[in-house]
């Protein structure tokens, strides 16, 4: 057997066709997102997958605390905002990632409250998480954020797009304060 051929047949490629298929699938999905696992099994020591996400897809703020895990996002197309929160929901840090942009990837430390929101149609990220797959427990979701599908999700997802460090959902933004003459 030709070893080179065997390696080639086993190699996974992420090409434009794969990205376009995922983008279409996400756009057509009620949740406005879909993924494609690259890992062989849920027990693999590193979970790695493509995550296609469209604007309007609500990802409830959460942390990977049980078990404690880091998470890495790399933008392959489009762009997204990654928000880091404190326990009460105040934004601690905001980073925009974009394919070909000034920041293309972020690694979120284990146990950190965070969310991600697509800023552009056709956003595809490659995501890595340490350890075998473990569904989040209810205590790993932010209590101040609605569950997916509940009232307020759409409004919160839209807020993610413009949220800045030091702000909390429900507080007027600096732009809103200027409009109302409060600044």
Summarize pLDDT for 168-177 with one digit per residue, the tens.
998 755 554 5
Q: CATH code at 139? A: 2.60.120.10
The predicted structure's pLDDT at residue 11: 86
The predicted structure's pLDDT at residue 3: 39
DSSP characters for 117-129? EESSTTEEEEEEE
Could you say which residues of the chain have pLDDT below 70? 1-9, 172-183
| Coil/strand/helix, residue 76 | strand
> In a 10 Å sphere around its CB, with 0-12 CB exposed, 13-18 middle and 19+ buried, how is residue 16 labelled?
exposed
* Domain housing 71: 3-179
Q: In 3D, which of 129, 119, 101 has the Cα closest to residue 158? A: 119
The predicted structure's pLDDT at residue 135: 86
**Angle 25-31-36 from CA coordinates, rounded to 5°:** 45
Identify whether 67 is preceded by a cis peptide bond (ω within 30 of 0).
yes
The predicted structure's pLDDT at residue 2: 38
The predicted structure's pLDDT at residue 5: 42
Domain count, the chain: 1
The predicted structure's pLDDT at residue 45: 92
């Amino acid at each position: 057997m030709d070893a080179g051929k065997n390696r080639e047949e086993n190699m996974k490629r992420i090409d434009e066709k794969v990205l376009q298929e995922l983008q279409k699938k996400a756009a057509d999905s009620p949740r406005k997102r879909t993924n494609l696992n690259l890992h062989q099994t849920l027990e693999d020591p590193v979970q790695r997958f493509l995550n296609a996400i469209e604007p309007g897809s609500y990802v409830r703020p959460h942390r990977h605390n049980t078990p404690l895990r880091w998470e890495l996002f790399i933008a392959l197309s489009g762009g997204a905002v990654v928000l880091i929160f404190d326990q009460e929901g105040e934004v601690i840090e905001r980073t925009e990632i974009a394919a070909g942009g000034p920041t293309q990837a972020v690694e979120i430390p284990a146990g950190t409250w965070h969310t991600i929101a697509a800023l552009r149609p056709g956003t595809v990220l490659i995501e890595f998480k340490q350890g075998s797959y473990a569904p989040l427990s209810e205590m790993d979701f932010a209590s101040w954020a609605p569950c997916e599908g509940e009232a307020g999700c759409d409004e919160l997802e839209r807020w993610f797009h413009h949220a800045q460090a030091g702000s909390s959902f429900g507080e007027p933004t600096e732009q809103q304060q200027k409009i109302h003459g409060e600044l």
